[in-house]
Every structure is written in structure tokens, then in C-alpha cells.
Amino acid sequence: MNRSSRSVTLVLITCGVAALGFGLWNRGSHPGGATTRPYGHGGGFFGWWGRPFGGYSGAHNPGVSPSHTSRGGFGSTGHSVSS
């Protein structure tokens, strides 16, 4: 895994997220009728954008020994969907 690339990604996203306040993306009804048609958004954007990003908050699973785990069996070529 290319960790330096990941760090760059996280910095970029953190910058983006920092510009948002929690609930900033909440939206009201649309005068053009979007909320009365099936085409428009009806809700707001909440959630992850307003939360601390990245990493794990959970503890290591005590019932599992890492020595029994293999990794790297998917994505080892580094190819991505959009590349």
C-alpha cells in the first residue's frame, strides 16, 4: 500500500471537511417543485462529513489472533475503478 498517497488524500479531504459545519448541507424545500416530484432531494446532508475522519475507534478484536490473518489478497495490483 502506498501510505504517502493515502496521507495526501486524507489531508485533502480533511481540508474539505473542515470547511463544513455539521448540518450545513441541510436543505429546505425547493420552490421549483423538486420536492413534490420524484426528482428532487428531500433531505439534508448529515453524518460523516461532520465527524472526525478516518481511522478506527474500535479496539482490536480480542478473539482473533493476527498471526492467523493473511492480507493483500485483493487489490494487490493497485488498480482502481477510476484509473
Partner 1 sequence: MKRIPIEPRDNWKGIVESQGFHFHSPDDRPYWDESAYYHLTSAEIDTIETATAALDEMCLKAVDHVIETKRFEPFQIPLAFVPMIVQSWRRDEVTLYGRFDLAYDGVSPPKLLEYNADTPTSLLEQAVVQWFWFKDRFPDRDQFNSTHDRLIEAFRRLLAETKQSRLHFTCVETSLEDFMTTGYLRDVAIQAGFDTEFTPLPLLGFNHRLRRFVDQNDRPVDVCFKLYPWEWMVREEFSKYLLLNTTRWLEAPWKMLLSNKAILPVLYELFPESPYLLRASHDPLRFDIPQVRKPILSREGANVAVMLPGKPPAETEGPYGPPYVYQEYHPLPTFDGHHPVIGSWMINGHPTGIGIREDTGLVTGNTSRFVPHIFS
Q: Return d(Cα 12, Cα 14) in angstroms, integer.
A: 5
Q: CB 5 → partner 1: shortest distance, Å?
A: 4
Q: CB 72 → partner 1: shortest distance, Å?
A: 5
Contact positions vs partner 1 (CB under 8 A): 1-2, 5-6, 9, 12-13, 15-17, 19-20, 27, 30-34, 37-43, 45-49, 51, 54, 56, 58-61, 64-66, 68-76, 78-83
Q: CB 46 → partner 1: shortest distance, Å?
A: 6
Q: Who's near 56: CB < 8 A, 6+ residues apart?
A: none
Residue (of 42, 44, 41, 43) closest to 22 by Cα position: 44
